[in-house]
Amino acid sequence: MKLALLSFYNLGRQPKIIAELYKKLNTESVVIDVFDYSIKEYELLLENYDAIGIFASMHTASVLATEFLNGKSLPNKVFTFGLYGKILSDSDTRITYIDDLDGPNLEIYLEVDTNNNFTLKNSIPDRSSVPEISNYAQLVIGDTKLLTGSVETTYGCRHSCTHCPVPIQFNGRFKTFSEEKIINDVSNQIQSGAQHISFDDPDFFNGPKYSLKVLEKLCNKFPSVTYDATIKVEHIIKYKKYFKELENSNILFVTSAFETTNDNVLRILDKRHTYNDLFKSISIAKEHSIDIRPTWMPFTPWTDPVDLVNIVSLIEDYELRETVDPIQLTIKLLVPKGSLMLKSQEFKKYMGKYDKDSFTYSWHYERRNVEYLQTLLFNYVAENEEVDSKKQYLELINIIQSFTKTNIIYNKTYKYREVPKLSETWFCCAEPNKIQLQRIKSNTALI
């Protein structure tokens, strides 16, 4: 069998799951080619393949995959996998969703033998099967860029935030990868040149003791390598005692989904933190000399213009300009098929029709003028992609100030710090570029 595995966008990371599938399927009876369209365009003749597999890692990837498949003749066997796999297969009857890559489903579907020793928990990804890490997001510190790898200590998530795609598939469950797999996977990436590693767990503190144990072993083995991780606000506060260990373990920054300053919206999203908790989490991170990089989703049906004022005030009060990517101030709620948000009574009265082309439910604002504000902000970013992020931020704030008739920026002599960040963040964009803006040019709900 000749098989093509396709990735379209994986948040600036190597498509690790494809490297794992390669390990499972690479036998004498299967020839595998891997194509990552986030790296380059390929002149791919699908008719040369007996089967293709599509990594539906997220919403953007699924939309791009649909555009790619449109009008093409496909092999008899087309399967998809990843967080948005079920949504992608529902949109195209030619595609079969494989939800359990550990089990026999894929082997039965493809009618091939697989590596009997393969398990997601223990098998080390064959990253030689995917493009080199130099093609993906890098750690940026001033004018210096460092090759960056990625790894997960767990998969799934114990939480059920209503807007998040992870609970759709995992329903509050998570599992751990083995220490041996994690350490060997990181070791292979370091041998390929990685000097920084991002932990891609939805929440690094899903199993904090386990994750910290793995981190300690990595630091002992690779003392010069640095790390970053994503941690919920709730867990930053609950496990603040562990931040001393993070401080001593080469963690440069922590990404945390603040989302909004509106407590009502935070309750509907089931974030399990409040506006006041944002201040606590920032203080905990600062106390341990760890940068916190908040991500935001300011625009939901319930957004009040004052929410944007409060978000900017928080950024200004805690001097976080360097750790907030400007486009974050434009992000809208996305509600895909199967979303827990669809069970929310608060959301149902604002819900519109399902758009099969974008895989999302439309919705309207409680306050109609908020839509105009979001459009102003987004259009500025879309039309000024080459502008320095410092200027972008200030121009977005000017728009918010003008719209809300407020004066938010009072520090006229802000001293910018040189902070580490990824050239592309997990949520959307670090510094908007043409490729990224084309992916979100429709200005529909974003994630």
CA atoms within 13 A on the CB side of 429: 23
Q: Is residue 197 part of a domain?
A: yes
SS3 category, 412: coil
For 326-369, what is each residue's pLDDT tens digit? 989 999 998 988 889 999 999 999 999 998 888 889 999 999 89
In this structure, is residue 115 part of a structural domain? no
Same domain, residue pair 103 and 136: no
* Choice between 279 and 167, residue whose per-residue pLDDT is larger: 279
Give the other-Cβ count within 10 Å of 149's Cβ. Answer: 24
Torsion over CA of 390, 395, 398 and 402, rounded to 10 degrees? Answer: -160
| In the predicted structure, residue 173 carries a pLDDT above the cut 90 | no
Of the pLDDT bands very low, low, confident and very high (cuts 50, 70, 90), residue 159 is confident
Note whether 220 and 316 are same-domain residues: yes
Confidence tier at 432 by pLDDT (50, 70, 90): very low
The angle at the Cα of 149, spanning 144 to 152, to the nearest 5 degrees, equals 140
Residue 404 pLDDT exceeds 70: yes
* pLDDT at 425 (0 to 100): 57
Percent of the chain clearing pLDDT 70 (strictly above) = 94
DSSP-assigned beta bridge partners for residue 48: none
Rounded alpha-carbon distances, angstroms, from residue 303 to 73, 190, 298, 339, 364: 44, 44, 7, 20, 11
| Mean of pLDDT values over 72-88 | 93
- In terms of domains, do 304 and 166 share one? yes
Identify which of 82, 163, 176, 165 has the alpha carbon closest to the alpha carbon of residue 122. 176
In sequence order, what are the beta bridge partners of 175?
155
- Quote the CA–CA distance of 393 and 322 in Å, as a whole number: 10
Number of domains in the chain: 2
Q: What is the pLDDT of residue 60?
A: 81
Residue ending a domain, among 76, 110, 144, is: 110
Residues 151 and 33 in one domain: no
pTM here is 0.92
